[in-house]
């Protein structure tokens, strides 16, 4: 039985991944190297500080900075990112998402967010979908990043659901692994080949409904 749907945010419900990329690339260029969209794929579903380490490794400068300097860089990147997402609108919710959330609530499913982003509550508010969620777990509430299952297990706990009753919607390999480790089924969203371990895969939410989800799972 499915009682709860747990959603990642970036790349699943809204398209904020491009804002993350633009901010990380700006930081890389300030440090004297470029950062490609292909390299950015490794940052999906990863915490801010872990993402910074990946970026610095791409530039060959990971060991050149102190912890304090890295914290300052991460804060600077986040400032640029927050500036961009503060201008988001409901039009940036991905196609089919609102219809799926509306139906899920209508049929009595619980809805939770499980995101590494500390800015998740702001994004939900700015895009007008916060009211759909029974629980919101963001980066400020967890101590371990995906693929650790902590974020999803907390979402299950806050909605009063057992892990086996939860379905995770993710667009990143680390998120699919976290769902697997949590004992939850998963829906891989998007066409990335890194989602091969998902229970089922969909291109997006257009044409996808609760009945189809239950049938495929």
103-140 pLDDT per residue, tens: 999 999 999 999 988 889 999 999 999 999 999 999 89
Is 34 an annotated catalytic residue?
Answer: no
Considering the candidates 8, 148, 203, 209, report the single residue annotated as catalytic.
Answer: 8
Residue 6 near residue 135 (C-beta atoms within 8 A): no
Residue 209 is among the residues annotated as catalytic for this protein: no
Does pLDDT of 88 surpass 80?
yes
Residues 44 and 95 in one domain: no
Token representation of residue 86: 């503060």
Final residue of a structural domain among 47, 70, 85: 85
Average pLDDT over residues 41-58: 89
Whether the per-residue pLDDT at 8 is higher than 80: the answer is: yes
Residue showing tokens 């049929």: 107
What's the domain range around 111?
4-15+90-216
- What are the DSSP calls for 75-141, one per residue? HHHHHHHHHHHTT--GGGBPTTHHHHHHHHHHTT-EEEEE-S-TTHHHHHHHHT-GGG-SEEE-GGG
Is residue 45 scored above 80 in pLDDT? Answer: no
**pLDDT average, residue stretch 20-24:** 95
Q: Residues 130-187: pLDDT tens digits?
A: 999 999 999 899 999 899 999 999 999 999 999 999 999 999 999 999 999 999 999 9
Question: Residue 108's domain is classified under what CATH number?
Answer: 3.40.50.1000
What is the per-residue pLDDT for 18?
Answer: 87
**Final residue belonging to a domain, choices 85, 104, 134:** 85
Q: Mean pLDDT of all residues in the chain?
A: 95
The 3-state secondary structure of 67-83 reads HHHHHHHHHHHHHHHHH
């Amino acid at each position: 039985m499915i009682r709860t749907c747990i959603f990642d945010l970036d790349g699943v419900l809204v398209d904020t991944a491009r804002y993350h990329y633009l901010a990380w690339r700006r930081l890389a260029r300030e440090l004297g190297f470029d950062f490609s969209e292909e390299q950015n794929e490794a940052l999906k579903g990863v915490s801010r500080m872990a993402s910074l380490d990946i970026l610095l490794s791409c530039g060959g400068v990971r060991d050149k900075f102190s912890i304090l300097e890295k914290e300052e860089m991460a804060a600077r990147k986040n400032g640029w990112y927050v500036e961009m997402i503060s201008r988001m609108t409901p039009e940036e919710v991905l196609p089919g998402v609102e219809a799926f959330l509306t139906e899920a609530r209508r049929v009595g499913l619980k809805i939770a967010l499980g995101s590494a982003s500390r800015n998740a509550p702001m994004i939900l508010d700015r895009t007008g979908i916060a009211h759909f969620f029974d629980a919101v777990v963001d980066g400020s509430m967890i101590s371990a990043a995906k693929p650790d299952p902590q974020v999803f297990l907390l979402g299950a706990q806050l909605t009063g659901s057992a892990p086996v009753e939860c379905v995770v919607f993710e667009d990143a390999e680390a998120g699919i692994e976290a769902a697997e480790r949590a004992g939850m089924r998963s829906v891989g969203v998007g066409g990335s080949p890194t989602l091969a371990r998902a229970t089922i895969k969909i291109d997006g939410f257009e044409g996808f409904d609760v009945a189809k989800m239950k049938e495929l799972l």
